[in-house]
Amino acid sequence: MSAPRAGFPSSSPVTVSITRNVDPERVPDVTRWVQAGVRLASTWPGFLGSGWVRTSAGSREWHMLYRFQDAATLDAWDTSAQRAEWLETGTGLVEDRQVRRRTGIEGWFDTPTAALDLRAMQAGQGEARPPRWKQAVSIWLGFFPVNLAFTLLAVAFIPGWDDLWTLAKVLVTTLVLTPIMAYWVLPLVTRMLRPWLTAPSKSRRA
C-alpha cells in the first residue's frame, strides 16, 4: 500500500485509495501478499482499517483502501522500513496505476470505515462520496444556524459591533466560525445526515 506524501490537516483522518493491476493467474499470491500488508499495517499506530475488491472475477483491476487517523501517522507508516520490506516482497505481483489521498472538506463526508467505498466499487459506482449538491446542503445546514447565532450574540454583547467596518465584521466572524465549523458542527451534521448523504441515487438504484 503506497501513497504520495502531501500536506494535510494533522487532525483529519486520511483515506488512501489505490488502483492496482494484478495478473489473474497470480490472484492467490497477491491475496496472501495483501493480507500480509494489512496485518502489518494493523499493528501501526493510527491505523483505522482497510479493504480491497475486484470489479469482477477475471478483472486485472483491484481497488485497495486504507485509512489512518491523521497525516502524521500515515506518513510514519509510508516511510517505515517494515512497509518498504513488505512492498519489496510484492515486486512483480502488482502494478500501481492510481493512488489518491482524501481528507479536508471531502474528508468530512467520508464514511467511518471503508465499507461503503467497497460496496460502491463492487457495484461499479466508484467511491461512495455524496454528490456535490448534497455536500453543499450539508455545509449550509451547519453554517446558517451557527452564523445566525453568532451574529445575534455579537450584536447583543459586543459593544459597537454595528459600527464596525463590514470588512472587520466579516474577518472576525470567519476567524471565529471556521474552526467551530471544521471541528464540531460539520462532523455533527454529517453524522446526523449520513443515511441521506450515502443513499444511492435513483439511477444507481435502477
Taking 90 as the threshold, does the pLDDT of residue 31 lie above it? no
**Same domain as 108, residue 51:** yes
Contact call for residues 18 and 1 (beta carbons, < 8 A): yes
Residue span of the structural domain in which 64 resides:
14-122
**Residue 43 lies inside a defined structural domain of this protein:** yes
**36 & 76 share domain:** yes
Q: Which of 31-40, 57-66, 148-157 has the lowest mean pLDDT?
A: 57-66
* pLDDT score at 120: 44
Q: Which of 74, 100, 122 is the last residue of a domain?
A: 122
Boundary-marking domain end, from 77, 92, 122: 122
Residue 54 inside a domain? The answer is yes
pLDDT (average), residues 34-56:
86
40 neighbors 86 (Cβ within 8 angstroms): yes
Q: Beta partners for 64? A: 18, 52
Average pLDDT over all residues of the chain = 78
pLDDT score, position 183: 77
> Residue 166 falls within a domain, yes or no?
yes
Of 122, 146, 172, which residue constitutes the final position of a domain? 122
Residues 136-162 have pLDDT tens digits of: 899 899 999 999 999 999 989 999 998
Task: Quote the number of domains for the chain.
Answer: 2
Calculate helix-pair angle for 27-42, 81-89, nearest 10 degrees: 170
The Cα angle at residue 205 between residues 202 and 206, in degrees rounded to 5: 85
Q: What pLDDT does residue 145 have?
A: 94
Q: Is 170 helix (H, G, I), strand (E, B) or coil?
A: helix
pTM: 0.50
Instruction: Show contacts of 142-149: CB within 8 Å, 24+ apart.
Output: 142/181, 142/185, 142/186, 142/188, 142/189, 143/177, 143/181, 143/185, 146/177, 146/180, 146/181, 146/185, 147/173, 147/177
What are the residue ranges of helices labelled H in 2-131? 27-42, 71-78, 81-89, 104-108, 115-122
